[in-house]
C-alpha cells in the first residue's frame, strides 16, 4: 500500500520542485523538496523500498534538471544510506535525524553537482559556489 502512495507523491514532488519551489530563492539557494521527502521516507522504520525510490527520484530529478543524470541518482542513494544508518543509531530523536539527513544531503547533492560541472568544463570559483550556492541552500 505504501508503494502505491509513494509513486504519485514522488512525481508530484518533482513537478512542484521544477515548477514552483526552485523559483523561490532563499538568499541564493533554494529548497529541495524531493530530498526532504526522500529523507523522511528513508527514516521510517518499516520502509524497505527506499533504495528503489531513491533511484527513481534521482532519475526524475536528473531528467528535469540541467546536471548529468548520474549525479542525483548517486546523491539520493547516498542520502538513503545515511538516513538508514542514522535511523538505527539515533532512533530516540527522529527530528534530529531528519535535520541531519537534510543538512548533509543538501551538501552531498551540491558538492556532487559542482564536481560534475567542473569535470564537464564549467568554470566556477569554489569560493563563490560555497558562499552563494551551497551555504544558502543548506
Q: Mean pLDDT per segment of 10 residues, for the chain of length 138 residues?
A: 77 84 70 86 82 89 87 93 82 80 88 85 74 66
In eight-state DSSP terms, residue 132 is: I
Burial of residue 53 (number of CB atoms within 10 Å: 0-12, 13-18, 19+): buried
Sign (positive or negative) of CA dihedral 134, 136, 88, 52: negative
- pLDDT tens across 105-129, in order? 988 988 888 888 888 887 777 776 7
Query: Taking a C-beta distance cutoff of 8 angstroms, is the pair 36, 102 a contact?
Result: yes
Residue ranges of the alpha helices (H) in 1-138?
2-19, 33-42, 50-64, 70-89, 94-119, 126-129, 135-137
Per the DSSP assignment, residues forming a β-bridge with 29 are 26
pLDDT at res. 47: 76
Query: Taking a C-beta distance cutoff of 8 angstroms, is the pair 107, 138 a contact?
Result: yes
Q: Determine if the pTM surpasses 0.75.
A: yes
pLDDT at res. 75: 93
Amino acid at each position: 500500500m505504501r508503494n502505491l502512495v509513494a509513486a504519485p507523491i514522488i512525481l508530484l514532488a518533482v513537478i512542484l520542485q521544477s515548477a514552483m519551489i526552485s523559483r523561490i530563492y532563499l538568499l541564493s539557494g533554494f529548497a529541495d523538496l524531493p530530498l526532504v521527502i526522500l529523507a523522511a521516507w528513508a527514516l521510517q522504520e518499516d520502509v524497505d523500498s527506499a533504495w528503489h525510490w531513491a533511484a527513481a527520484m534521482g532519475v526524475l530529478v536528473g531528467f528535469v534538471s540541467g546536471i548529468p543524470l548520474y549525479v542525483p541518482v548517486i546523491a539520493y542513494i547516498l542520502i538513503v544510506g545515511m538516513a538508514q544508518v542514522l535511523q538505527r543509531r539515533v532512533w530516540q530523536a527522529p527530528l534530529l535525524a531528519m535535520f541531519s539527513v537534510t543538512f548533509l544531503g543538501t551538501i552531498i547533492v551540491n558538492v556532487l553537482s559542482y564536481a560534475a560541472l567542473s569535470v564537464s568544463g564549467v568554470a566556477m570559483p569554489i569560493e563563490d559556489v560555497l558562499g552563494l550556492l551551497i551555504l544558502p541552500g543548506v
